[in-house]
Structure 1
Amino acid sequence: MHSKTTDTFRKDSNKCPTFKPKNVPGGDDRRIRASADRREVPWFSEDDIQKMKLLAGGESVTKARVPGHGQVLQVALEMPDQKQTQQKKAPDTPTSSHTDHCHRGRCSLVKRTDDWFEVFAFHLDRVLGLNRALPAVLRSFHSEILPYRYTRGGPRPVVWWDPDIQHLEDSNNDQNSVPLSYVQYEKTLKARCGIKTGLNEEPCVGVRHSEWSRLALFDFLLQVNDRLDRYCCGFRPDPSDVCVENLFQARCGNTKDLLLVHILVRKADPSRLVFIDNAGRPLQPLDNLNFRLLQGIDQFPERAISVLQSGCLESLLLRSLYADGEFWDVRGGAGALRALIRTVEQRGQILLQHIRDRQLPLYTDL
């Protein structure tokens, strides 16, 4: 790993790939518009594309409620051609249970219509090269096995359910892989885990130091607070905000009372974070950005910063978002999405200034 400052990168929008929908293979009749070689969207892996196709085109076969999350429905999906093939090969075979589908990675979380920004977040994650968010698409449902409000309430964000994510056994804290207070988090940042201190030595929790900067960058661009700042201590929330209704802000005066949430890792790779619940705040004004998310972060990922500095974020995101046909159409196409992207670009410029002012280094993972 080596570091450098942001001065290395120069804005050169003339080299940005031009977005032209007609140049993207697949036409407008496919839900996921990407060629087999992914030439137009190289930031997606083949696995990403396959999961996006499952989320966008899979038929609902079973469903289950998610305990403690009344607004979210877990739905198992199966591609029509796979379902027909299995029925022909073994018509008398018992139907797989919902749990079996989920363990095989064939499940999704269907969220509220208002959470559509989570789909945008997935594309931003891949374009920036962070690769920590779970695949997500926007889609409509028509299956009779789903509750009426899921089939008549408009398109919803659908996120792949990862069976390998590690959850705490505590039912009141199952949205974390490790219990982490804000005070412990600050100690973890100072310890530079995996660099200066062993990943499993105190105060480290097994997560690499570089992971927190990826998370902070991502959350700042999207203005996600329900992770590093669930109590809304770093900005002025709306009166209708959950943290206001639950009187969370009253705890901001005592750092020891503050806890982190949605700090998740995979069992197979516990040193890397997984980003979930990324809907954030698309309309957060620039004079009310949450800089608390950046506190204690002493370095940033080189690749993501180079994209922000290149001036190409708009063209790259338009190419990426076009791959999700329903999201593209429902969110108003290039015209409406440009305005949204420019909001994120402005936040990116503010982040770059923050890095320059503090002369923070960039890192490249080997």
Structure 2
Amino acid sequence: MAQRPWRRTGMKPPAPAAVGALLALALLALIHLPPPPDHSLLLLPASSSPREVAVPLSGGQAHRGGLPMSRTRLRREQAPGRSRKRRGVERDTPPWLSADDLQKMWLLSRGQVVSKSRVPAHGQVMRVGLRAVGDARGDAKGDVSPASPEGDCQDGRCGLIKRPGDLYEVLAFHLDRVLGLNRSLPAVARRFSSHLLPYSYTSGAPRPVIWWAPDLQHLEDANNDQNSCALGWLQYQQMLQPHRPMPVAGDAPCSSIPHSEWSRLALFDFLLQVHDRLDRYCCGFQPDPSEPCVEEMLHEKCRNPAELVLVHILVRRSAPSRLVFIDNAGRPQHPEEKLNFRLLQGIDSFPAAAVAALRSGRLQSLLLESLRLDRELWESQGGAEGLRPLLRTIDRRAQILLRHIQEHNLTVFEDSPR
């Protein structure tokens, strides 16, 4: 009979107890081995919509309405040298959003609704007073004092709730910041549940909320109160004439607004196809019969340029030489063959930083990086994949604008400080 190995080597067979002990030690070692590294986060494609972690702008608990950050961005934020501290806000946020932008976005997305008021002649638009959680006024015990709509708005704690169909205005705000224009008011998407609001505002659909600037300058004329100055199309075109000396402030309507402001406005409105400011009569394209400019018989006035006026030309009393862009919802579905080039008429130069962003080839990715901060908009639109058709449309218009600049040998100018 063949010898067993341990007999051939002169070793004694191990006792059964010893074998059991060795097996137990081996099992313990296997149990305590560290798990293999998880590479799943590193394999996410750039276009995917990873699970997001809510990160409030000003700290506090994570919640649905906060401003989100993907796992990948969260890892980047935690890496050495990535965080930036601005006025107490320390987050890995895009550099084109200022600390003031972030604070206003936080108020709009999380502020408690404490008052409401209708905006005359603006249909479904509702102005609401907002208070940050823990913002106690007038009571040592911490109870919120009775709301004063006018007082809250004068203190910069109000927002305009607009229609669900105006959500494009939130994307317009981020486009404004990505391009370095900085003329739009902060905007976020939000779902409301406040008992102070009518049911139509709390039915679950996200709506855009726009920060209410307390010092917008309005004309006293009740028929023209959506302007800071009355300006006709012919006057506007005369102001844009090259080599024309700038008039002294006060000697003509809107005379304190420099040429560069109109260039910013024209570029912005062309990308979004906003007609209401520079071409509310739809003179620059053939409108469909359902267009408001046709239904209201405005389009007929195109035959007489002297009757054409500009609308929503607004400035703030604190900065009378800077335009404020409002009502920026634009037309995401406006067909390319009907793009309104009249919006660019008379403009012979554009801001260098904005043109550089359009030329970079990164416009879509920059917008996605910015839009991720608005969790409500991001989720309601289906994340990156849901937003890409809109972003491709803007990018396509950007390429058409760049071709227009090249074909007409237009120039760029350096931007003034923010």
TM beyond 0.5:
yes
Equivalenced residues, count: 346
- Residue 121 of structure 2 is aligned to residue 71 of structure 1: no
Distance 1:51-1:91 versus aligned 2 partners, 3 A rule: closer
Partner of 1:363: 413
- Residue 52 of structure 2 is aligned to residue 33 of structure 1: no
Whose RCO is larger (CA < 8 A, sep 6+)?
A: 1
Partner of 2:337: 287
The answer on whether the counterparts of 2:189 and 2:206 sit within 8 Å (CA) in structure 1 is: yes
Pick one of 189, 197, 209 that aligns with 2:240: 189
The answer on whether the counterparts of 1:197 and 1:204 sit within 8 Å (CA) in structure 2 is: no
Listed one character per residue, the Cα deviations across residues 229-252 of structure 1 (whole Å, up to 9, x for unaligned) are: 011111222322211110110100
**AA partner of residue 225 (structure 2):** D
Pick one of 404, 410, 415 that aligns with 1:354: 404
Distance 1:192-1:169 versus aligned 2 partners, 3 A rule: farther
CA distance in 2, matches of 1:94, 1:215: 41
- Residue 168 of structure 2 is aligned to residue 117 of structure 1: yes
Partner of 1:133: 184
CA distance in 1, matches of 2:48, 2:92: 14
Distance 1:169-1:38 versus aligned 2 partners, 3 A rule: farther
Cα deviation for residue 203 of structure 1 reads 6.7
**AA partner of residue 72 (structure 1):** V
CA distance in 1, matches of 2:252, 2:314: 19
Partner of 2:326: 276
Cα deviation for residue 188 of structure 1 reads 1.2
Range moving further from structure 2, 239-248 or 226-235: 239-248
Partner of 1:3: none
Partner of 2:275: 225
Partner of 1:149: 200
Pick one of 120, 131, 134 that aligns with 1:81: 134
Unaligned runs of 5+ in 1: 1-17
Flag the structure with larger Rg: 2
Partner of 2:108: 55
**DSSP-derived class of the 1:296 partner:** coil
CA distance in 2, matches of 1:24, 1:266: 37
Listed one character per residue, the Cα deviations across residues 92-125 of structure 1 (whole Å, up to 9, x for unaligned) are: 8852411000000011110011111000000000
CA distance in 2, matches of 1:276, 1:243: 19
The answer on whether the counterparts of 1:55 and 1:159 sit within 8 Å (CA) in structure 2 is: yes
Range moving further from structure 2, 202-211 or 94-103: 202-211
Cα deviation for residue 87 of structure 1 reads 6.8
CA distance in 2, matches of 1:93, 1:50: 20
Q: Write out aligned runs for 1:236-275 (5 A).
A: 236-275=286-325
Distance 1:275-1:256 versus aligned 2 partners, 3 A rule: same
**AA partner of residue 32 (structure 1):** L
Distance 1:326-1:189 versus aligned 2 partners, 3 A rule: same
The answer on whether the counterparts of 1:19 and 1:315 sit within 8 Å (CA) in structure 2 is: no
Listed one character per residue, the Cα deviations across residues 262-314 of structure 1 (whole Å, up to 9, x for unaligned) are: 00001011111000000000011110100000000010000000000000111
Cα deviation for residue 191 of structure 1 reads 6.3
Cα deviation for residue 23 of structure 1 reads 11
Cα deviation for residue 40 of structure 1 reads 3.4
The answer on whether the counterparts of 2:129 and 2:159 sit within 8 Å (CA) in structure 1 is: yes
Partner of 2:153: 102
The answer on whether the counterparts of 2:352 and 2:413 sit within 8 Å (CA) in structure 1 is: yes
Unaligned runs of 5+ in 2: 1-45, 56-61, 70-82, 84-88
Distance 1:23-1:207 versus aligned 2 partners, 3 A rule: farther
CA distance in 2, matches of 1:224, 1:248: 16
Partner of 1:160: 211
**DSSP-derived class of the 2:126 partner:** strand
Pick one of 365, 368, 385 that aligns with 1:315: 365
Partner of 1:213: 263
Partner of 1:339: 389
Partner of 2:19: none
Distance 1:244-1:89 versus aligned 2 partners, 3 A rule: same
TM-score (norm 1): 0.89
The answer on whether the counterparts of 2:349 and 2:413 sit within 8 Å (CA) in structure 1 is: yes
What is the identity percentage for the equivalent residue pairs of Structure 1 and Structure 2?
A: 54
**AA partner of residue 157 (structure 2):** R
Partner of 2:285: 235
Cα deviation for residue 86 of structure 1 reads 3.6
The answer on whether the counterparts of 1:300 and 1:363 sit within 8 Å (CA) in structure 2 is: yes
Cα deviation for residue 20 of structure 1 reads 8.0
Range moving further from structure 2, 46-55 or 238-247: 238-247
The answer on whether the counterparts of 1:178 and 1:205 sit within 8 Å (CA) in structure 2 is: no
**AA partner of residue 218 (structure 1):** F
What CA RMSD, in Å, does the superposition of the two structures yield over aligned residues? 2.2
The answer on whether the counterparts of 1:199 and 1:208 sit within 8 Å (CA) in structure 2 is: no
